[in-house]
Amino acid sequence: MAVHLAFLRAINLGSRRVFPKSDIQRVVADVGFEDVATHINTGNVRFDTRLRSRAKIEQTLERAFAADRGFDVPTVVFSARDFRAMADDASELNARHPGLARHYVYLLKEPPSAARTAEIEATSGDEGDMVVRGRAAHALLRPGYRAGVVDPLGAAKLLPDATARTLTVITTVADKWC
């Protein structure tokens, strides 16, 4: 069995897309995954599975979540090893940019093409920088960025299969589960 982490997108943001941790755990266990755990109520899940294909794991979870909830729940999956490497890279990137006001990490289903990476990184500006590393796109926001704005650099529209977490959540989850 291999440890994997799943990150659910667009849940618990309002009254229509509610998916409590206990229900997430139940659904993940019901599809046959084991040792299921969640971290906070934003869709961070750890589990063991015999499945090896990331795409199959994502499809299995997305189908089960849709059947249980009645709405689509886009899901991004990492092996524990790959997530740890991404979290370590995110921490190093953060350390190379001292004085940031906020660091968001967009977790991607697939790494973007070179052309899409250039387009994403071109959203960098006075408020911060977008940096793409494999299956992670980093919003490195400087002091003075428009706090409270969901996507101050305008990069999210270029990341259709992504879900964002703060660097704090990324490192906490990696330390806890990887």
Q: What is the CATH number of domain 82-177?
A: 3.30.70
Diameter of the chain by CA atoms?
Answer: 47
- Location of structure tokens 């299995």: 60
Confidence at residue 146, expressed as pLDDT on a 0 to 100 scale:
76
- The pLDDT tens digits of the residues spanning 28-72 come to 999 999 999 999 988 999 999 999 999 999 999 999 999 999 999
Q: Are 61 and 7 in contact (CB under 8 A)?
A: no
**What local confidence, expressed as pLDDT, does residue 174 receive?**
98
pLDDT one-digit tens code per residue, 71-108: 999 999 999 999 999 999 999 999 999 999 999 999 99
Strands 128-133 and 2-8: unpaired
- The pTM assigned to this predicted structure is 0.95
Q: Is 157 helix (H, G, I), strand (E, B) or coil?
A: helix
Which of 47-51, 128-132, 135-139, 145-149 has the lowest average pLDDT?
A: 145-149
The domain 2-80 having CATH identifier 3.30.70.1280: the answer here is: yes
Nearest to 47 by CA among 109, 2, 102, 83: 2
Q: Judge whether 2-80 and 82-177 match in fold.
A: yes
pLDDT of residue 111: 97
- Cα–Cα distance, 175 to 151 (Å, whole number): 27
Domain limits, the chain: 2-80, 82-177
